[in-house]
């Protein structure tokens, strides 16, 4: 089960997921309802404290099919063929544009990176 919550003190949005195994938050056991899957700050609080704002994109690679898909904000989906060298080149190019890897998931022949860039 997933749900949204907003920390009214900091103005941060969090997407949570209920977990039946012991949930962990920042590497330590959490007493909350589950693990934080996604967290970003959406606005600057009224007290003027500086909040980070992020934009997100994805890179997906089906390694056995040598298929790479890139979706970034404000651009069309890019699809092309490639193996290890091309994936490294894509991630390096995006890193040079200020993107970093926020998460990576893998299953079978599939790798999926969520990238973020501070705005």
pLDDT tens for each residue of 7-42? 656 556 555 544 444 444 444 444 443 444 444 554
Domain extent listing, the chain: 2-41, 54-118
Instruction: pLDDT band for 46, please (50, 70, 90 cuts).
Output: low
pLDDT of residue 82: 94
Question: Domain 54-118 is classified in which CATH homologous superfamily?
Answer: GTP cyclohydrolase I feedback regulatory protein GFRP (3.30.1410.10)
pLDDT of residue 23: 42
pLDDT of residue 110: 95
- Residues of the chain with pLDDT > 90, as a percent, come to 50
State the virtual CA torsion across 29, 42, 70, 88 in degrees, nearest 10: -60
């Amino acid at each position: 089960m997933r749900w949204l919550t907003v920390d009214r003190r900091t103005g941060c949005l969090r997407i949570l997921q209920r977990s039946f195994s012991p949930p962990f938050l920042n590497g330590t056991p959490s007493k909350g309802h589950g693990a934080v899957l996604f967290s970003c700050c959406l606005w600057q609080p009224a007290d003027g404290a500086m909040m980070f704002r992020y934009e997100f994109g994805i890179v997906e690679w089906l390694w056995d099919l040598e298929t790479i898909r890139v979706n970034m904000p404000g651009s069309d989906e890019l699809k092309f063929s490639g193996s290890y060298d091309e994936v490294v080149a894509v991630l390096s190019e995006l890193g040079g544009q200020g993107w970093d890897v926020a998460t990576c998931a893998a299953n079978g022949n599939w790798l999926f990176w969520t990238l973020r860039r501070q705005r």
